[in-house]
Amino acid sequence: MSVVDDLLEKLPLERFRNPPPQVAVLRFDGLIGPRGPRALSLRRFAGAIERAFQLRNLKAIALAINSPGGSPVQSSLLTRRIRQLAQEKEVPVFAFAEDVAASGGYWLALAADEIFAEDTSLLGSIGVITASFGFAEALRRLGVQRRLYTAGENKSLLDPFLAEDPKGIERLTALQRDMHESFKDMVRDRRGAKLKAEESALFNGEIFTGKRALALGLIDGIGDLRGIMRQRYGDAVKLRLIEPERRRFPLLSRFGWPRRPDLTEIAFDLLARLEERLIWARFGL
């Protein structure tokens, strides 16, 4: 026997003839929104989603979700991109709620053909919320005047530096109703006959445990990602985490040397972190 034949005999050729099934895992952890290096957005995840569907011997896509929600637009964009590729590639999608998959986080879970959670996971919150701050009184005490000029009577909407305007509240409520209807349409489309309760009980913004969500038809089962994937595709299944590309050296200028952090950028980052902290706090986390 030649040296080449000896090497070929020792190679695990069976793995090449029958490669193990692979499941691409996309992890969505955090607040959904268009801005920030950590925010869950289509811009940040588009490449990772594309790569996930290109894996060799791909059997399924698994979405690991731990999100209290955020931007309905980004939730919709992410969900639509995943569904488009799932239909093109004819690959099933599974979603696994961890601590929280609520509001936009649950909207994202609707990209899956089947949704799973733990008994104590928090899901649902099928509604729309808008939070802001009011600084009008603080400005008055400081002797600062807010001067706002617009062309078009509806150009400004609930400026936080001015007193609340009833007309502005009415306009915001109308916008929220439209967004809520879009959310409800998505749930109806994706869950359909699986829903086991009246819409008044499902679509009022209530938060449910995984156990309760299963009884209501909002999810398909109780279980974790690794366990369910091994049940479906065997113990040899390979779970491949596909992560978005990280932005390298964000504090470097385009010429290569460190740039001074912009004070406005820092302020917006602090406010974003505060808002994120408040949203997570609603779920006791």
Contacts of 246 (CB under 8 A, 6+ apart): none
Separate counts of helices (H) and strands (E) for the chain: 11, 8
pLDDT surpassing 80 at residue 59: yes
- The predicted model scores a pTM of 0.76
Q: What span, in angstroms and rounded, lies between the C-alpha atoms of 34 and 40?
A: 7
pLDDT band, residue 84 (cuts 50/70/90): very high
103 among known catalytic residues: yes
Alpha helical stretches, state H, 90-165: 104-109, 136-142
Lowest-confidence segment of 23-27, 97-101, 134-138, 242-246 by average pLDDT: 134-138
Question: Of 41, 76, 103, 125, which residue is the catalytic one?
Answer: 103
Using a 10 angstrom Cβ sphere, with 0-12 exposed, 13-18 middle and 19 or more buried, the burial of residue 78 is buried
CATH 3.90.226.10 fits 19-281, yes or no: yes
Q: Please state, as a whole number, how many other Cβ atoms lie within 10 Å of the Cβ of residue 97.
A: 27
Q: What span, in angstroms and rounded, lies between the C-alpha atoms of 67 and 237?
A: 26
Partner residues linked to 96 by β-bridges: 64, 116
Helix, strand, coil percentages, rounded to 5, for the chain: 45, 15, 40
DSSP state, 145? P
Length of the chain: 285
Question: So what's the pLDDT on residue 187?
Answer: 93
**Domain definitions of the chain by residue range:** 19-281
* Residue of 208 and 248 predicted with greater confidence: 208
Q: What span, in angstroms and rounded, lies between the C-alpha atoms of 164 and 162?
A: 6
